Structure 1
């Protein structure tokens, strides 16, 4: 960034250093604004960050130098807009990616996803789930590692969505009822080890599939621009819930908030995998609807 830093004779920090710190501190928030589509121009970025036009311009220039965004060199004005035209901002098409994997009742899916939520590459879907979580997660990571080798893209992180409540901070799958995994499987540790073994040297995080779907909808889908989002979803099996409050996923004290699938809606209803009867999980999931 085009800032300078200097110290006064008594060792104090000069105003130029303060400007440097403020500018660099804006890099993350600025990238998030462009990443989620909330700052399509440099003028909007200036307003959203609450900084001067010069600082916003320097932040955009550094993000471009890092290969994360593009800045249109020619200012454009929206149709009917008043005031000075602004430079358009967009995500760099050849920027870094993350490895995203999802395990579900009928197999797994793997993709490389870039900034802006753009899918860069996908691997062929797997249609079976091994009873050993280490084997299926290892296969998914191996497929992702092959995508990285094929595309040559820089990977910054990896995420794994699983069909189970995931306890925090342990990262264990408490009740993987729709896959034949043991209760309490250490999916976070398994995922981390598989990334290391596959030579994908990035940090990895695991989470419940509906929690992660809610975050995606809030940032890039139906909930974009909203402060709060309630998500109740059903996929291959079961029903799950998630809640985003003020832009942050609400998981409760141990990561188990909004596990709505085992709310009993019909005490005399279908037998559930959890041992109860009439849970939302088995009364309204795709299998139940097909059997109705």
Structure 2
């Protein structure tokens, strides 16, 4: 590497993370767009893109072509490396779990469902889903750079505990993050150098909102409101100015426990007529005269 190239890369090294995020979320499809978004010179953007390509994170086309009818110099196209690293994604819900490998760009690499019931011991089901994910990693041969666990409960920070797993037989305050990290270590989910992969835990609707904001219906929006339901219950999440809003204790968007019918069905939270039990799939099936 020449001294000039080295100098450019050193100037742009702090831009490696932002540059990868721009490509990862589809906001920088070309090097010209990357240059403009980062506010750097073309040479620096080229050095940054080259470094990300050398790390196996993105691909840069070697022979850029301009669309028919366009003017100006064609720009190199950028895309995530389809054979790049993955994150292990795990979800636990009332009727089981799912493990998946997700690559840059939000691309689903592999997925596997498992079990029909969730044990009352969080460590049991978290261990099962991690072992399933570890199996996917072995089969794929892909490099794992992180892991995330989604649970149907608000997760307190910085403790990493499940505050209200109402649709599971778990006790409130279950240490889901620490359990998840211990299970990752036990299953041998590590970086290539053997160092432990960091595991995160969060509310399932919160991580769904982040995914929608980065790759789905909310891409490009400053603010996003998500209200969703899975097998049981109703949850909500809010993205403000591109950041997840969880409040001081992680309970900011527990919309499922807004009372919509004071004389309605009894709720797991101890109240009656909550959105959680009046409008979830089980309630809609009951209203239609069908068994859940």
TM-score by length of structure 1 reads 0.93
Q: Could you tell me how far 1:196 is from its partner in structure 2?
A: 0.9
In structure 2, distance between residues paired with 1:3 and 1:153: 34
Q: How many residues align?
A: 281
1:30 aligned residue: 19
Q: Could you tell me how far 1:217 is from its partner in structure 2?
A: 0.3
3-state secondary structure, aligned to 2:115: coil
Two-structure CA RMSD over aligned residues (Å) = 1.5
In structure 2, distance between residues paired with 1:281 and 1:21: 52
3-state secondary structure, aligned to 1:213: helix
Q: 1:100-143 CA distances to partner (integer Å, 9 max, x unpaired)?
A: 00001110000010000011111243322111100000000001
Matched, 1:87 2:76: yes
Alpha-carbon contact 2:9-2:47 (below 8 Å) kept: no
Q: 1:227 to 1:22 in 2, by over 3 A?
A: farther
Q: 1:274 aligns with which of 269, 273, 276?
A: 269
Q: 1:44 aligns with which of 28, 33, 40?
A: 33
Q: 1:119 to 1:3 in 2, by over 3 A?
A: farther
Alpha-carbon contact 1:46-1:56 (below 8 Å) kept: yes
Structure 1: runs of 5+ lacking an equivalent: 7-15
Q: Could you tell me how far 1:5 is from its partner in structure 2?
A: 10
In structure 1, distance between residues paired with 2:11 and 2:4: 12
TM-score by length of structure 2 reads 0.93
In structure 2, distance between residues paired with 1:3 and 1:29: 24
In structure 2, distance between residues paired with 1:96 and 1:2: 28
Q: 2:119 aligns with which of 116, 127, 130?
A: 130
Q: 1:80-115 CA distances to partner (integer Å, 9 max, x unpaired)?
A: 432111111111111000000000111000001000
Q: 1:2 to 1:97 in 2, by over 3 A?
A: farther
Q: 1:199 aligns with which of 180, 185, 188?
A: 188
1:250 aligned residue: 245
Q: Could you tell me how far 1:78 is from its partner in structure 2?
A: 3.0
